[in-house]
Amino acid sequence: MTILISILFTLGKIVVLLTLILLTVSYLVYFERRISGWIQNRFGPNRVGWEGVLQPFADVLKLLMKEDIVPDNANKKIHALAPMIALFIAFSTYAVLPFGPTVEIFGYKVALVVADVNIGILYVIALTSIGVYAITFAGWSSGSKYSLLGGIRSSAQMISYEISMGFSIGGVLLLSQSLRPTEIILAQSGWMWNAFIQPIGFITFLISAFAETNRLPFDLPEAEPELVGGFHTEYSSMKFAGFFLAEYANMIIASALIVTLYLGGWQLPLINALGLPSGVIIALQILGFLFKMGLLLFFFIWVRWTVPRFRYDQLMNLGWKVMFPLSLINLIWVALLIMVFNF
């Protein structure tokens, strides 16, 4: 009976998480367009529904009704498979990222994470590394030189910035002595957030997250001025929507990962000293986690509409000559903290 209840709770968490992700992704597109309008002193979408809040549903309907065009020279199987890979990896990564502490429901303790596994961070790194295959496959299978160049750029970009990202995570793992996301969060109790202890690692990871999610100023795989639309030039209808959804889902993953690794996760300093009921504290912790994610998502959007795109040589120089050395310095700094100050 306990196994059945555990399975039901897990299925419930999956359903709730997928629903929230799909709704968040839809409205993240809306908020990006509204924020970009605010930054550029224009309105943005404001016609469909009150202040344009139904625009995401109109966009989905429009994409559903569009014709799915596949080029004659395309490898049709790989062409169709690429957006599926992007979506599968984007949604699978959420499984190990906790958004709150353990709660008690009907007498059963339930962790607010789909799978609280020992190798959670390794799982996330592995899946995000595989994500480049979706873009590379899309570029190669389209039979277009623009798409192919976008796919090749993406693979080089991912390799360059995953190295600095990996070394940045290494500092977090040294301090927490665990690959389990919940234990990494618990290791940052109080104000012992990794962003304060190892700011260089935080900055290098944040910049690498922009490169990993192909967001401006690192959207070289798309790069409309040179590559028309990059790796997804030959995609239309719901296949294009698949890549679009995956990009915004990856933004949410990156934000949740930064909150987990560097901003204390759901932990709020001094909240236990307020003497509030446990249910209220848990609710505030969940809201705190979502608030931190929201701030990071706003930062992702703000940077996109503020900083111009880098040239490809600038992208590579930053990755190998700046980010990589800084991530090594951060790793040495954390090692010294542990050796000298017994952190």
pLDDT tens digits, residue range 320-331? 999 999 999 999
pLDDT of residue 1: 45
The residue ranking higher by pLDDT, 201 or 112, is: 201
> pLDDT digit string (tens) for 290-308?
999 999 999 999 998 888 8
Task: Confirm whether 1 is domain-assigned.
Answer: no
pLDDT above 50: residue 94: yes
pLDDT above 50: residue 274: yes
Nearest to 20 by CA among 236, 212, 286: 286
Task: Confirm whether 192 is domain-assigned.
Answer: yes
> pLDDT digit string (tens) for 163-202?
888 899 999 999 988 889 999 998 888 788 999 999 999 9
The residue ranking higher by pLDDT, 112 or 37, is: 37
Task: Confirm whether 44 is domain-assigned.
Answer: no
* Range with the largest mean pLDDT of 3-12, 155-164, 273-282, 289-298: 289-298
How many other C-beta atoms can be found within 10 angstroms of the C-beta atom of residue 211? 25
Contact of 168 with 204, CB cutoff 8 Å:
yes
DSSP-assigned beta bridge partners for residue 105: 108
Peptide bond into 98 cis (omega under 30): no
Task: Confirm whether 17 is domain-assigned.
Answer: no
Task: Confirm whether 30 is domain-assigned.
Answer: no
Q: Model confidence at 223, in pLDDT bands (50, 70, 90)? A: confident
User: What is the overall mean pLDDT for the chain?
Assistant: 86
DSSP-assigned beta bridge partners for residue 109: 104
DSSP-assigned beta bridge partners for residue 110: 103
Task: Confirm whether 264 is domain-assigned.
Answer: yes
The number of distinct structural domains making up the chain is 1
Task: Confirm whether 271 is domain-assigned.
Answer: yes
The residues, any chain, with a CB within 8 Å of residue 45's CB and separated by 6 or more, are: 30, 33, 34, 37, 52, 55
Cα angle 12, 15, 17; round to 5 = 105
Domain that holds residue 275: 71-103+112-341
pLDDT above 90: residue 16: no
Percent helix, strand and coil across the chain, each to the nearest 5:
70, 0, 25
Q: Tell me the CB-side half-sphere exposure of residue 4, using CA atoms within 13 A.
A: 1
Mapping DSSP onto H, E and C, the string for 105-138 reads ECCEEECCCCCCCCCHHHHHHHHHHHCHHHHHHH
